[in-house]
Structure 1
Amino acid sequence: MNARSRWLLISVSLGIMLNPLNSSMIAVAVARLQQAYQLDYASVSWIIFSFYIASAIAQPVMGKASDLFGRRRIFLTGLVVAFAASMLAPLSPSFGWLIGFRVVQSAGTSMMVAVGMAIVRIHITEKQGAALSVMSIFLSGAAAVGPFIGGMLIHWQDWQAIFLVNLPFVAVSFVLAWKMIPKEAPQSPVVQGMSIRKWSDFMDLPGILLFTAGLVILLTGLLSVSSSGQLSAVHVMLGAVGLVLLWMFVKHELKAASPFIPLRTFAKYPSMTWVNVQFMLVNVLFYAVFFGLPSYLQTVREISGFHTGILMLSLGLCSLAASPAAGRWIERSGPRPALTVSALLMTFGSVWLVMLTPDSPVISVCAALAAFGISNGLNSVGMQAALFQSSPKAIIGVASGLFNTSRYLGTIFSSLLINIVMGSQFSAGGLRRLGIILAVIALSLVFMSRRSRGAEQSAEA
């Protein structure tokens, strides 16, 4: 790999790591935001929901948009958007404004993730495997150390610092990307003359609007019930409207020529569908611990954000350490054994959470975090391998997009689960109830992992 390729790789990697970094740093800031804005957890959790809903929408949309406007232009625009959002978020006059800037930040960072891999594949022609591995390290490493970085920043400054820390990374990435990403050919006359109607059909704007509105309204209804502790006619109406909109979204996607989420693919390839369902549940488990445990430690055990970040580092480091070993194991034995062990580890970690009491040594939390960290390292490689084996080569691009959608949905559901179980106030009893539910889900994954044997034998076409 020549020097120009290395600098191109660095510029792209610095950009794409901002999405996982910002999605994970917030884990240790939720309790502080509750104090700063005097809100319950259900309300503050929109800082999590908003980021993942925006990412779930922006990444596939921007992947399509890059076909119209060019990958270099989308990447550089994403850096500008992320810079503006990160700079303005600390100045938010209210929590609503903060959510708005968080959504903009998610959209900007998603623009880079959506096209970063393609830029590397197209412009780095030698040692592509090594280049993609470096990008994976940036992505997984940023997510792993995010809570630790967030804890340090909140300890030294305040929650505003978790936004401002992005600015130097964005600035360096922009300068490098401007110089290193090759300029693309001008847009074709067909693209330049595309009407608003054709652009809307190509991007599937109706599908995007139905998906967004349905999911947001449904979550609003569910969170309102969780926050108030009682079911009212308004809550029922919100839930009904959300479900109707999502039903309309499904009907629309099945008929759309260029669907936002190609649902027909799920029906055509059941083994791939099974992998996505399993991956969604894996993320429900992992992120329920990832987001729930820091808030529990800070609000119930009264551990500082700095020390909570140090404890959470055990999860990230175990995940990073397990990934290389998982790759070698899966290469020899296939994904099924690794996924089974991962599910057993998550079961152990969930049961460990049930056994924790307010008097348990804080360091004992690391046992659960290590179990979930190792399982995440196994899953990050194993689930991807299972997807490749269950998906025909002709649709691997679509399959990867659906795979990321499953990740985001699992993350959203994990935060919703925390809200439902914990209610408006974290407690030791709430953590035990959460642990029991997670243990049931993890045990179901032990049995579901057996299904991946079929995935190993299917869709070789």
Structure 2
Amino acid sequence: MEPPRLEERTAEPAADEPLAHRRIVFGIVSIALLMASIDQTIVATALNAIRGDLNAELNWSGWTITIYALGQILVMPLAGRLGDQFGRKRVFLAAAVLFTIASLACSLADSIYLLVVFRAFQAIGGGAFMPTATGIVAEQFGRDRDRAVGMFTSIFPIGGILGPIVGGVIVTYWSWREIFIVNVPAGLLLILLAWRFIPHSAPKAAARIDGVGALLLALTILSGMYGISSLGGRGAEPTDPLFIGAEVLAVVFGFLFVRHTNRARDPFIPITLLRGRGFAVMNAINLLYGAAVLGFGALVPLYAESRYGIQPLQAGTLLTARAVGMICVAGLAVFALRRTGYRAPMIGGFLLVAAGMTLMSIAPHGLTPYAWLAVAAGVTGIGMGLSIPASNNASLQLAPDQISAIAGLRGMFRQSGGIIAVSVTTTVLAHSANPGTSQANVCIIFAAVLLLIVPFTFLVPDHRGSW
């Protein structure tokens, strides 16, 4: 039998790639996911420091989180396609370079507006990591890709542990600028390792990039979020012309995006992945889950500081407590998926997260405020560790040949929910006489949203066994 050519081997390496090399590749892409994860939580501990140093209002400080999520939303579906078209290694390396340069630029920003712009570029790099890394790992692990992809769940909570701790220490002993500088040496290391060890994947047939669709989606989200954020300004009201005009534009751009998507030959988001069998319900679940979990979670340190006067370093470690709970369960949940299926762990996880959020909103009983919040955060982490591996694989299993695109779409819906939650919450707090109490009420609302998700899970196609 003729030995396989090099390009065949790099396109399908899982069949004969040594296990040790696959683990090296997994470790390299995990560094990228860790960096992107850290930057979702590390800024939360520095919001008050950024506000004070740059003389910014709360709603614009919140945009440092919102714009990071928005950039990821737009680039995730695009990065999946670009990875298929030009090779995942090339796109992965380009993302690492952009993320590193943008992190350095963030540390040098001298106004809140420049910081938001640089965070947008940082988000583009970070958002490209997930779909390309998912495709790289799927190629390397072959029939075991469900477990390998599921193990990504354990990467993000590690970032959740390191982010608040590192952020709290840096803000306490240095300044908020150093929270971005730490990405520079890590980014350089990532670039060198990826260049050396990640194998090239064979590019697929070129597909036209739908720039019009991407632009319309960006304008829809930007207009809507800017309108909501404008309410956080001094004296702004819902009757303000700026708010009304921005929301009208969001509706118009949204209509144009939907019409364009229905008519385009190669739309930015394929219709089959939006409303095909199983995809519609999973997209709805991911949107609501992102709002309730990712959105509010990013503001937990602010809640601890505002309601109980907890210092930034301690407030940041509350996200650590959540991440520890998640890690304790996620690994077991991944390996149990072939027995449990997807529905049961999703339902159990959603209920636990809702319970943890409810506890967080209640005044402490018999414990210090920090201990009470840590316990509540740990409960939400356990629920996340139980539900995320199942929800990740539930959509991937529907079309295993489109893993990169589905991973990007899943992240897009979760991040969309997250930025809606952050924008609305910061606007509410800007108008509140007692932000801590108001945020506790918001927590109850998000717990109710999670309960509303539960009936949707019965519409998710269940699956047991390997793919």
TM norm structure 2:
0.86
Q: Secondary structure at the match of 1:456?
A: coil
Residue 6 of structure 2 is matched in structure 1 by none
Query: What one-letter code is carried by the residue in structure 2 that aligns with 1:171?
Result: L
Query: What one-letter code is carried by the residue in structure 2 that aligns with 1:155?
Result: T
Q: Relative to structure 2, which stretch is displaced further, 323-332 or 44-53?
A: 323-332
CA–CA distance in structure 2, aligned partners of residues 125 and 222 of structure 1: 45
Residue 4 of structure 2 is matched in structure 1 by none
Residue 74 of structure 2 is matched in structure 1 by 57
CA–CA distance in structure 2, aligned partners of residues 412 and 422 of structure 1: 15
Residue 237 of structure 1 is matched in structure 2 by 245
Q: Relative to structure 2, which stretch is displaced further, 314-323 or 221-230?
A: 221-230
Q: Secondary structure at the match of 1:88?
A: helix
Q: 1:371 aligns with which of 368, 371, 379?
A: 379
Per-residue deviation at 1:98? 0.9
- Is 1:344 the counterpart of 2:351? The answer is yes
CA–CA distance in structure 1, aligned partners of residues 137 and 447 of structure 2: 40
Change (3 A) 1:267 1:342: same
Gaps of 5+ in 1: 192-198
Per-residue deviation at 1:382? 2.3
Per-residue deviation at 1:136? 4.6
Query: What one-letter code is carried by the residue in structure 2 that aligns with 1:297?
Result: A
Residue 273 of structure 1 is matched in structure 2 by 280
CA–CA distance in structure 2, aligned partners of residues 327 and 77 of structure 1: 30
Change (3 A) 1:242 1:127: closer
CA–CA distance in structure 2, aligned partners of residues 80 and 388 of structure 1: 28
Residue 100 of structure 1 is matched in structure 2 by 117
Q: Residue 33 of structure 1 contacts residue 159 of structure 1 at CA under 8 Å; is this kept in 2?
A: yes
CA–CA distance in structure 1, aligned partners of residues 415 and 52 of structure 2: 27
Query: What one-letter code is carried by the residue in structure 1 that aligns with 2:438?
Result: G
Q: 1:381 aligns with which of 383, 389, 407?
A: 389
Q: 1:14 aligns with which of 13, 31, 37?
A: 31
Bigger relative contact order, structure 1 or 2 (CA pairs below 8 A, ≥6 apart): 2
CA–CA distance in structure 1, aligned partners of residues 135 and 325 of structure 2: 29
Tell me the number of residue pairs that the alignment of Structure 1 and Structure 2 aligns.
Answer: 445
Per-residue deviation at 1:299? 3.3
Q: Residue 27 of structure 1 contacts residue 290 of structure 1 at CA under 8 Å; is this kept in 2?
A: no
Q: 2:169 aligns with which of 152, 155, 162?
A: 152
CA–CA distance in structure 2, aligned partners of residues 245 and 347 of structure 1: 34
Q: Relative to structure 2, which stretch is displaced further, 206-215 or 350-359?
A: 350-359
Q: Relative to structure 2, which stretch is displaced further, 344-353 or 272-281?
A: 344-353
Per-residue deviation at 1:4? 4.4
Per-residue deviation at 1:401? 3.4
The 5-angstrom pairing of residues 126-141 of structure 1 reads 132=149, 135-141=152-158
Gaps of 5+ in 2: 1-17
The 5-angstrom pairing of residues 164-175 of structure 1 reads 164-175=181-192
Residue 440 of structure 2 is matched in structure 1 by 432
The 5-angstrom pairing of residues 78-227 of structure 1 reads 78-122=95-139, 132=149, 135-182=152-199, 202-227=208-233
Q: Relative to structure 2, which stretch is displaced further, 223-232 or 364-373?
A: 223-232
Q: Residue 42 of structure 1 contacts residue 424 of structure 1 at CA under 8 Å; is this kept in 2?
A: no
Q: Residue 86 of structure 1 contacts residue 167 of structure 1 at CA under 8 Å; is this kept in 2?
A: yes
Per-residue deviation at 1:385? 4.0
Query: What one-letter code is carried by the residue in structure 1 that aligns with 2:179?
Result: I
Per-residue deviation at 1:175? 1.6
Query: What one-letter code is carried by the residue in structure 2 that aligns with 1:21?
Result: I
Q: Once the two structures are aligned, what percentage of the paired residues are identical?
A: 21
- Is 1:39 the counterpart of 2:56? The answer is yes
Q: Residue 144 of structure 1 contacts residue 319 of structure 1 at CA under 8 Å; is this kept in 2?
A: no
Alpha-carbon RMSD: 3.0
Query: What one-letter code is carried by the residue in structure 2 that aligns with 1:92?
Result: A
Per-residue Cα deviation, 1:429-448 (whole angstroms, up to 9, x for no partner):
20232133123213212333
Per-residue deviation at 1:96? 1.1
Q: Residue 356 of structure 1 contacts residue 432 of structure 1 at CA under 8 Å; is this kept in 2?
A: no
Change (3 A) 1:117 1:382: closer
Per-residue deviation at 1:134? 5.8
CA–CA distance in structure 2, aligned partners of residues 25 and 399 of structure 1: 27
Residue 310 of structure 2 is matched in structure 1 by 303
Q: Residue 354 of structure 1 contacts residue 435 of structure 1 at CA under 8 Å; is this kept in 2?
A: yes
Change (3 A) 1:293 1:125: closer
Change (3 A) 1:278 1:2: closer
CA–CA distance in structure 2, aligned partners of residues 328 and 138 of structure 1: 15
Query: What one-letter code is carried by the residue in structure 2 that aligns with 1:408?
Result: Q
Per-residue Cα deviation, 1:302-339 (whole angstroms, up to 9, x for no partner):
22221112232110100111112323554333232322
- Is 1:331 the counterpart of 2:338? The answer is yes
Per-residue deviation at 1:109? 2.3
